[in-house]
Amino acid sequence: MSIRSLCLLVGVLLTGLTGCSHHHGSYEHAKGDYYWGKASQDVSGLVEKHVKNPETVKQVNVVMGEMIAEIKSAREQHRQFHRALYELNANYSAAPEEFTKILDELNNSRMRSSAKILGLRFKMKALLTAEEWTALSEELNRYGSRYYGKGAEGGAAHQ
């Protein structure tokens, strides 16, 4: 599997799971928790389906849990940065540098989170055989495409 395909897989996983967390109002907070739990159960089921060794299933599910927790945390940080931008935008005298500072912090936060998730992804890959990795990757790609259409599946053809 090429690096491009692997990065696409991580992106699909991220977008699939973060898509579940989007809220349009504070009254839906409990609903967001439901979706995170549902995503966690779905991914755990996919791991159990494709990984043969029960001990490896446990280890992979721990890593997946860490990934999901990081994705959830990153999503919340993203919302906080956007809230700060909205508040700053309401300030008529806000300087462009103030916006740039928030955007820089947002981008740095994304990079830290992406690096952590990528490290966890390689940790998970090291636990799996090539066949398990390929089967799980394809299944996760299909899982993500349920939320984002067929475009998410297109990258798998370039392996």
What does pTM read for this prediction?
A: 0.70
Q: C-alpha angle with apex 75: 103 to 36, nearest 5 degrees?
A: 175
How many domains would you assign to the chain?
1
Query: Which is nearest to 65 in space by CA: 44, 34, 35, 38?
Result: 44
- How far apart are alpha carbons 138 and 132 in whole angstroms? 10
Fill in the DSSP letter of residue 22.
-
pLDDT digits (tens, 9 = 90+) for 114-135: 999 999 999 999 999 999 999 9
92 three-state secondary structure? coil
Residue 63: Cβ within 10 Å count: 19
Could you tell me if 16 and 39 are in contact, meaning their C-beta atoms sit under 8 angstroms apart? yes
pLDDT digits (tens, 9 = 90+) for 23-49: 444 444 556 788 888 888 988 999 999
Could you tell me if 46 and 140 are in contact, meaning their C-beta atoms sit under 8 angstroms apart? yes
pLDDT at 30: 59
Residue 20: exposure state from Cβ atoms within 10 A (0-12, 13-18, ≥19): buried
pLDDT at 129: 96
Query: Which is nearest to 68 in space by CA: 25, 121, 3?
Result: 121
Q: Which residue has the higher pLDDT, 2 or 26?
A: 2
Compute the 3-state secondary structure of the chain and give helix, strand, coil in percent, each to the nearest 5.
85, 0, 15
- How far apart are alpha carbons 131 and 147 in whole angstroms? 25
Mean pLDDT of 81-96: 96
pLDDT at 145: 79
Its domain, for residue 14, covers 3-158
